[in-house]
Chain A
Amino acid sequence: MIKKEKMRVISSRQVAKDTTEMVLQNTYISETSVPGQFLHIFLDGHTLRRPISIADINKDRQTVTILFKKLGDGTEQLAKVTEGMLLDVLGPSGNGFDMCLEEGDTALLIGGGIGVPPMYSLGKKYSERNIQVVSVLGFQSKEYVFYEEKFKELGKTHIVTNDGSYGAKGFVTDVLCKVRGFDHYYSCGPIPMLKSVKNTLEGKRGSISLEERMGCGIGACYACVVPAQTEEGYKKICSDGPVFDVLEVVL
């Protein structure tokens, strides 16, 4: 169930160019969140909240971690929020990933840019359950790369940059051919990336996490719909997603 909670900022630090990692403490949110869900964050002076994925969950410390990139006014303002301050948050919002794999299986995680954060909490959960994790992470260029070490702790990790300034050059799809044998793929990133991942991995089972501009963030306003292969013909990203089976929605 979504609640409106106050979350205390435990730490905020820059982890890459324009990219902030923020650890937030709250009992309810940390106890109920699952990988793939997001927080809908209020920012003073803004009519609309900002959706940000949950990138890590620590039940012992009662924290969740978010990672976000400065893109406009809102994320700029969020990056200025400092330790000790309280954030007004709706969460946990949306549904988590279908964690259908079992011990011995392999999960392929494919994240692009600000689509990388939700992949981390999923990979961590899976690796705790002894599921193999292989990650392919795409960034614009070297200075934007974050969490490489953390993903490496989970399993084999391929970094791709658009300009080749770090890791392989190109797009995540350019290295997918190097990954052999996986049971389910999970992907989050810009729509063009998700489309080409879907095409490249046609026939494989997969889940994708979608982004769209939101109004309410709870399923009431129909701002965030995506065409779907269902009787109604659409799904709401905020409440039916943001995670979908790759065959369920029309990209």
Chain B
Amino acid sequence: MMNLEVHLPGLNLKNPVMPASGCFGFGREYSQFYDLGKLGAVIMKAATGEARLGNDTPRVAETSSGMLNAIGLQNPGVEKIIENEVPFLAKYDTAIIANVAGSTLEEYEFVASTFNEAKDVCALELNISCPNVKEGGIQFGTDPYMAAKVTEKVKEASNLPVYVKLSPNVTDFVSMAKAVEKAGADGLSMINTITGMQIHLPTQKPLLSNKTGGLSGPAIKPIAIRMIYEVKQQVSIPIIGMGGISNAEDVLEFLLAGASAVAVGAANFTNPFICSEIIDNLPSTLEKYGINSVQDAIGKAVF
């Protein structure tokens, strides 16, 4: 049998596939389709210090080979998530990763330290790259100094391993990756969505109420692959790769480019069974290309 296991800081995964933050809620809705225990891990929807209502609608638009979203980090707040959502996911044999968001250093610290007290959360994904909220998030994701600062603070506030989720909306992505590695990040998560816009022809105005939104789906896959490939050469912490994955071949491509695990986002909307189907197809896909295990594929295109 093909060995699909991967071992990353805080995460012993039976396979490298997990749903991406914001595309799977807290798992409840998808649990009606298949056993979530099949997943390597689940990355929960973003958590902020207090409840957030998010942006006005429309919040999504379809694009060629993808979609734009501007949800605006709507969530019930970290405490409610720990009380109501984590226990549900903990019933399944899968690793739980919490996505930590905020507008200030203090908010990030608060969310991280609150998750630290919660049992059953295995790792934090530090979201410094949400393009869809006015103040916050993104300034930490575009300035290497700020990114390092928030990484340090969150590492101090929590004992959990921290995977920093980087924004592709910067000119020097590699410096960002290096800065957070130096600041103590245990891993990287990349890429978040790329800022885009769609004009609605009937009204001749931006379609999304937020005007801009984050592009995801197959359209961004080559960008994600390129960024992972570049970062892998310069950074030694593991990478959770994402951006446009919709089948097992895509997963292999991410592994070869240097990702140690992968997350699937928008494809869950097209097909709610996608993560489960990818996991089923991964062994034969690896085999087809003469690869003996997931571990063997990681970074093979780079070195």
Is the Cβ of B54 less than 8 Å from the Cβ of A47? no
Chain A hits for B63, CB < 8 A: 47
Asked whether, in the complex, the Cβ of B61 is within 8 Å of the Cβ of A47, the reply is no
Q: Is the CB of A46 within 8 A of B29?
A: no
Chain A 186-226, CB within 8 Å of chain B: the 1/0 string?
A: 00000000000000000000000000111111111111111
Q: State the Cβ distance, B68 to closest chain A Cβ, in Å.
A: 10
Q: Are B29 and A234 in contact (CB under 8 A)?
A: no
| Contact present for B29 and A48 (CB under 8 Å) | no
Which residues in A have some Cβ–Cβ distance to B below 8 Å? 1-2, 4, 42, 46-49, 74, 90, 212-226, 232-234, 239
Q: Does B32 contact A (CB under 8 A)?
A: yes
Q: Are A222 and B66 in contact (CB under 8 A)?
A: no
* Across-interface contacts of A216 in B (CB, < 8 A): 23, 25, 29, 268-269, 272
Chain B residues near A42 (CB, 8 Å)? 270-271
**Residue B144 is within 8 A (CB to CB) of chain A in the complex:** no
* Interface check B262, CB cutoff 8 A: no
* A47 and B217 within 8 A (CB): yes
The reply to whether A214 and B272 contact each other, CB–CB distance below 8 Å, is no
**How far is it, in angstroms, between the C-alpha of A114 and the C-alpha of B266 when the chains are bound?**
27
Tell me if B59 is interfacial: C-beta within 8 Å of chain A: yes
Chain A nearest CB, measured from B41 CB (Å):
17
Pick the contact of B60 from A1, A215, A226, A239 — CB < 8 Å? A215
Minimal beta-carbon separation of A69 from chain B (angstroms): 14
Asked whether A213 lies within 8 Å of B60 as measured between CB atoms, the reply is yes
B53: Cβ under 8 A from any A Cβ:
yes
Provide a sorted-by-A list of 21 A–B residue pairs whose CB atoms are within 8 angstroms.
A1-B32, A2-B32, A4-B272, A42-B271, A47-B62, A47-B65, A47-B266, A48-B67, A48-B270, A74-B62, A215-B60, A215-B269, A216-B268, A216-B272, A219-B25, A220-B23, A221-B69, A223-B57, A223-B60, A225-B54, A225-B74
Q: Is A222 touching B24 in the complex (CB atoms < 8 A)?
A: no
Shortest distance from the beta carbon of A244 to any chain B beta carbon, whole Å: 15
Does B283 belong to the interface (CB within 8 Å)?
no
Rounded to whole angstroms, the CA-CA distance of A218 and B19 in the bound complex is: 15
Task: Assess the B60–A214 pair: CB atoms within 8 A.
Answer: yes
Interface set of B (CB-CB < 8 Å, partner A) = 22-25, 28-30, 32-33, 45, 51, 53-54, 57-63, 65-67, 69, 71, 74, 76, 217-218, 266-273
Contacts of A74 in B (CB 8 A): 62
Alpha-carbon distance A220/B58, docked complex (angstroms): 16
Is the Cβ of A224 less than 8 Å from the Cβ of B67?
Answer: no
CB neighbours (8 Å) of A213 from chain B are 57-61
A sample of 16 more A-B contacts (CB under 8 A), given A49-B270, A215-B69, is A1-B32, A47-B65, A47-B66, A47-B218, A47-B270, A212-B58, A215-B67, A218-B272, A219-B28, A220-B24, A222-B59, A223-B59, A224-B57, A225-B59, A232-B51, A234-B74
* CA gap between A212 and B65 in the complex, in Å: 21
Smallest distance from the beta carbon of B29 to chain A beta carbons, Å? 4
The 7 closest A-B pairs by CB, nearest first: A220-B25, A220-B29, A223-B60, A218-B29, A213-B58, A222-B74, A48-B62
Contacts of B57 in A (CB 8 A): 212-213, 223-226
Bound complex: CA A10 to CA B122 (Å): 50
Cβ of B128 to closest chain A Cβ, rounded Å: 21
Task: Using A48-B67, A213-B60 as known contacts, say yes or no to A4 and B273 having CB atoms under 8 A apart.
Answer: yes
Q: How far is the CA of A193 from the CA of B164 in the complex (A)?
A: 46
Bound-complex Cα distance A217 to B33 (A): 13
Q: B23, B76, B272: which has the most chain A beta carbons within 10 Å?
A: B272
- Cα distance A225–B58 in the bound complex, in angstroms: 9
CB pair A46 B76 closer than 8 Å: no
CA distance A2 to B71 in the complex (A): 24
Determine the distance from Cα of A181 to Cα of B272 in the docked complex, in whole angstroms.
45
Most buried by A among B33, B51, B267: B33
A49 CA / B67 CA spacing, docked (Å): 11
**Contact among A2, A214, A221, A234 for B53, CB-based, below 8 A:** A234
Taken together as a complex, chains A and B put the C-alpha atoms of A72 and B265 apart, in Å, by 25
Q: Contacts of B69 on A, CB cut-off 8 Å?
A: 215, 221, 223
Residues of A within 8 A of B66 (CB): 47
Contact residues in A for B76 (Cβ distance below 8 Å): 232
